[in-house]
Structures are given as C-alpha cells and as structure tokens.
Amino acid sequence: MTAALSPARWQTIEPLIDAALALGAEQRAGFVARSCVADGELRNELISMLAACERLWPTGGWLSQPAAERFASLWVEPNEHERFVAALAGRYILEGEAGRGGMAVVHRARDVGRDDRHVALKVLRTTVGDRGALRFRREIALAAELHHPRIVSVLDSGESAGRLWYAMPFIDGETLGARLRRVQRLDIPDVLRLMREIADALGYAHARGVIHRDLKPDNILVSDDGAIIADFGVAKALLVASTREGDSIDEGETTEGIRLGTPLYMAPEQITGRSTDHRIDLYALGVVAYQLVTGVTPFHGSRQDIATGHLSRRPPSIGGRRAGVPRRLDRLIMRLLEKKPADRPASAANVSAELAGIA
C-alpha cells in the first residue's frame, strides 16, 4: 500500500509521472535519475508509482483517464471493504466491484429492503472528514436534482463506517468506452442516435445550471434503452445551490474540475484554466462524436501533445479518416471542436436540433 500524498507533494510528482509515462520504457530510468538528483524520497515515490502503472496498464492507456483515476488503485486502506460491508448489513449486500475512480469505488449491490433489486453503490474512497467529501456531497446533491431518463439518478444515500455513499439504478449494459474498445467505431445511424441522446441530457442539465466537466465515453452508459450519462463527480453548478447549509467552497475547490478533467476530452479553455461554461461539455461531445465516427480521438500521444493539439491544432479531417460521413454531421462535429467557445453551437439544444435534420 502507498500512503496518500499531500496535495503539494502530488502537484510535484504528477507532472513527472506523466512525463515519464510519455517516454519509452528504456528511457524512463534515465529520466527518473535526472529529475530526482537532489531528492531520494521523490525518486523512490516516482519509481514505485511508475512500477504500479506498468503493472496495472501493461499496454498503456493511462492518458484516457484523469490522473486521479490512473492512480486510484494505489490508495487502498486495509480492511476498508470488510468494515463497510459490515456497516451496510441488513440494508445492502455487495456482490462485486463494478468500477473505480480516483474519488470513489462503484459496487454492484442488492437492495435487501426493496424487493432485492440490484443497484450500483458509489462509495467515497476516503473518510467523511477528508477534503474530497465536500465534492462528493456536492455530486450527490447535483445528481439528486437531475431527473432525466438520460442521466443516472440517485435512489438513496448515506454514511456507513466513515464512508459516504449513494445508490443508483444498476444499468445492465456497458460503458460507451468499453464498446469502443471492442468495435473501435460505430455505424453512422448509431452515432446520430447516441449524439442526440447525449445532447438531450446535457441540454436538460445545462438548463438547470449544471455542467458535467468530464464527459467522455467511460462516463456514458449504453444499453438497449440508449445512452445514459453518469458521474457528475466534477460537475459544477452555476445557477443552483449544491452544497449543504454551512458548507463553503474556496476558489481552489471550485476550479478542481479543471485539474481533474480527462486530457483527451478537455476543451482548450479548460486546459488553460480560463473561465468555463456549458460549452466545455459541447467540446467534449465533439471529441466523443469524432471518436465514434473515426475510431480515434482528434489528438493523442503524450499529455503535452494532446494539450497542444486542443489548444492550437485543427483536428485531422473526418473525411480523411472515414469515407461516407454525412457532410452535415462532419461540419457539426468540427464546429463542436472549435477552439473558441463562441464559435461552437450555442447550446446542446441547438446541437439536438441540427442532429434531427441529418439523415
């Protein structure tokens, strides 16, 4: 087990990890030695984390996730699971882990008090007194206010064994990310349908002052009933109060989503930390749509390559990567990927209207 790092220490080590992961395996030892000449403790921490990354992702793939998610498996407390299971006895029976991120673990569970229905139980990884608890409470409050068939809803919430949790409907399907890893790209009619469903959900949330801020295929569930957006963990409420009475969020907390966004899907203004609004979700929708059509994201490579692409390079032509894409769909996706927010569609509702006219 690796002890949790302080925020200041994490800010020091995170860019070194990203830089090392962008190098070939044979170059990493030299990079670590050069970067940590005067700090043996830092060198040991960096070596340990890189070894964990290589063990967890032997074929790569860390750049498709936020840094906090990439290293989630390193922060594990002994007996945590057993204590939590015991505290939930008589209410929920946990049947296995369904997924995990930097802040929380999602379990498949059976609600023994309500007809034995299956639910997804999302559990905060750290204690209630931890700084992350406020953001998790905000996530619960935001999700509880959103009632839309294309957005995962909250069924129940509570605190057990020092861990905050909430229950959601269990979706019998897979994430869009998992589907793309299986089939690489989708048929155009499926792309149009999924884009409309996602845009409708975003439009509903945006109309209530909520922006997601980390829209990506792994946060979109797909089943026979269509697409459902999950994980408002870094969402930000612009027009609605989302904290408990007495809670406060300092400026560092309100901008936390900028640091936690996923590089492959981040809008330019999100990368640079400029003021953001609902149009960062529209940019992310453009990246997702580009990937659905072509099988790849517009920009890839090292973290720096991805950031530079989002900030200053035009995405490679969709037509050059796939023939037969409807011209109106091509143009809409490229408009969603405009560098300046003002050059993108004004709203998710506008996107839905344009999609409705594409055959």
Q: Catalytic residues, which ones?
A: 214
Contact 281, 211 (CB under 8 A): yes
Among candidate residues 328, 350, 193, the one with its CA nearest the CA of residue 281: 350
Q: How far is CA 85 from CA 82, 117, 160, 171, in A?
A: 5, 17, 9, 22
Contact 102, 68 (CB under 8 A): yes
Could you count the other beta carbons within 10 Å of the beta carbon of residue 274?
A: 11
First to last CA, the chain: 53
Torsion angle defined by CA atoms of residues 53, 54, 59 and 63, in that order, rounded to the nearest 10 degrees: 30
DSSP 55-84: HH-TT--GGGS-HHHHTGGG---TTHHHHH
**142-169 b/e with 16+ CB inside 10 Å = b?**
bbebbebebbbebbebeebbbbbbbbbe
